[in-house]
Chains A and B, each alone.
Chain A
């Protein structure tokens, strides 16, 4: 089946897949080819696209998924390929967001800080789960900064 992951900023992924695992707002969604038509909300979490044994993971910050015919469209608020996540930077971002939330000056800053915190938490979760794999393939984590 055809899978597309888009964010407001860009087309993140487009290609064939055998299975999609998405963090549905009401529970994990596993989508195989010829799934019934579906539109669902997604929570911040890990989106996994499987194809012929290989896996691609994205940290997404919530959004929507639509399955229609043999096509899956993920409208993600944010989406980052797992390989591009820098754990140290994500950790630093989480600290910063927490600090901002503690101070919370204005409404706008609070919204920004909250969103930043949510994103960095998801990023860390995805990165940690993927860590052993990228340790085996060190080139995965290098050179994308």
Chain B
């Protein structure tokens, strides 16, 4: 049986752990809200740019549309995979889930894969497993559009430069605080069908276009790609924090349960110790009495 002092020490250290995990839980909760709000704030731009994109595309023939550098289908001799992970662990299965999703996807490819990682965990995995890592980005806790632009630039350059025929994003979709799902999504080439769906049917407004439609469409599609990457990263961030929040809440609960159990066995041990001491004292007293009894008898004799 563990000694009283050993149990007390363990209880104390578990209580410290619970304090740390509870603090991490609170921090993650607020970071998650921030990331969620940031992801939501991209919505107005997304909606407006789809509208404008549709209006501009309505001035082009489907053929012209399909010849846009970011839209054109190319022979797929290689693909690029962007893997978005966290920089840190302690977030349950978050990193593992998205990495294994990416590995399954990569394993299913019949052409060479160029891997781009965003986040330290993905990079470390790629290096450990000797994957073809071509670029690695590490973002802070509050990524801005400016941080993400170089990532999108690199992907577009690799596509337009003919290095790859497709670019895929692998990140964690934020479904709810409790549910985050790894997701594989085609980023480039942009599907012309998706753009064509935005073209308003019915009356075509005779837009003045400055400069020509193609010259507007190309940078617009670039911004659009940046937006996709930015949104994926913000969603991954919200997922990371909520995964960490849940993991830390479980850790706190476990710690509290352990404390309860150990407090119980501590009390039992204490009770046993007291009982034993009492037995000793009573036993001692009884023994004394036995020693003293003949004397009393003697004194009582005369």
Interface residues of A (CB under 8 A from B): 4, 6-11, 24-26, 36-41, 63-64, 66, 68, 73, 75, 77-78, 107-108, 111-112, 115-116
Contacts and interface: CB of A to CB of B under 8 A. Distances in A.
Given A25-B210, A37-B205, A38-B208, A8 B219 contact: no
B110 to A, nearest CB: 29
Nearest to B55: A39
Contact of B45 (A7, A24, A26, A68): A7
Contact of A39 (B145, B207, B227): B207
A9 B149 contact: no
B274 interface: no
B216 interface: yes
Contacts of B44: 4, 6, 10-11
Contact of A26 (B49, B52, B210, B223): B210
B174 interface: no
Nearest to A110: B150
Nearest to B213: A39
B216 A39 contact: yes
A26 B209 CA distance: 11
- Among B38, B52, B145, B210, residue most surrounded by chain A Cβ atoms (within 10 Å): B210
B56 A39 contact: yes
Interface residues of B, number: 33
Given A7-B45, A64-B219, A108-B153, 19 more contacts: A6-B45, A6-B48, A8-B227, A11-B45, A25-B210, A37-B206, A39-B216, A40-B209, A40-B210, A41-B211, A41-B216, A63-B223, A64-B223, A73-B51, A75-B45, A111-B150, A111-B153, A112-B146, A115-B149
Contacts of A8: 42, 45, 145, 223, 226-227, 230
B71 interface: no
Interface string B37-79: 0100110110011011001100000000000000000000000
Interface in B141-197: 144-146, 149-150, 153-154
A24 B208 CA distance: 13
For the complex of A and B, list the 4 residue pairs with the smallest distance between their C-beta atoms, beginning with the closest: A40-B210, A10-B41, A108-B150, A11-B44
Contacts of B227: 8
A8 B145 CA distance: 7
Interface string B199-215: 00000011111110001
Contacts of B215: 41
Interface of B: 38, 41-42, 44-45, 48-49, 51-52, 55-56, 144-146, 149-150, 153-154, 205-211, 215-216, 219-220, 223, 226-227, 230
Contacts of B226: 8
Centre residue among A25, A73, A75 by max chain B CB count within 10 A: A75
18 contacts: A4-B48, A6-B48, A9-B42, A11-B41, A25-B210, A25-B211, A26-B210, A26-B211, A37-B207, A38-B207, A38-B209, A39-B55, A64-B216, A66-B52, A75-B49, A78-B146, A107-B154, A112-B150
A24 B146 contact: no
Contacts of B48: 4, 6, 66, 73, 75
A77 B153 contact: no
Nearest to A77: B223
B210 A38 contact: yes
A39 B210 CA distance: 6
Contacts of A25: 210-211
A111 B149 contact: yes
Contacts of B206: 37
A108 B154 contact: yes
A115 B56 CA distance: 26
Contacts of B216: 39-41, 64
Contacts of A38: 207-210
A115 B146 CA distance: 9
A66 B38 CA distance: 25
A115 to B, nearest CB: 7
Contact of B52 (A7, A39, A77): A39
Contacts of B55: 39, 66, 68
